[in-house]
Amino acid sequence: MKRTFSVPRIHCDGCVRTVTETLKSVSGVTAAEADALKKTVDVVFDPAAVTEERLRQALVNVGYPAAN
């Protein structure tokens, strides 16, 4: 499953790296790609292994809460 989250606090390459690495470290995530210009992150994950809520919580834990 692919989901795009709006993450308003993404503004630089460091933010992109943090968000991407955080999501990729979550079990069940197969890909994550953040975009600082769009302030979004695309996540490909197995919904049987991880919930969207878990992905949102991972973002909150590193200071980048998703807006949607």
Average pLDDT over residues 35-61: 98
Average pLDDT over residues 6-19: 97
44-49: long-range contacts (C-beta < 8 A, 24 or more apart)?
44/1, 44/2, 45/1, 45/3, 46/1, 47/1
For the chain, the domains span: 2-61
pLDDT at 22 over 80: yes
Residue 31: the pLDDT is 98
Share of the chain above pLDDT 70, in %: 99
For domain 2-61, is the CATH number 3.30.70.100?
yes
Query: Measured in whole angstroms, how far is the alpha carbon of residue 14 from the centre of its chain?
Result: 14
Rg (CA), the chain: 10
Average pLDDT over residues 18-46: 98
Residue 50: the pLDDT is 98
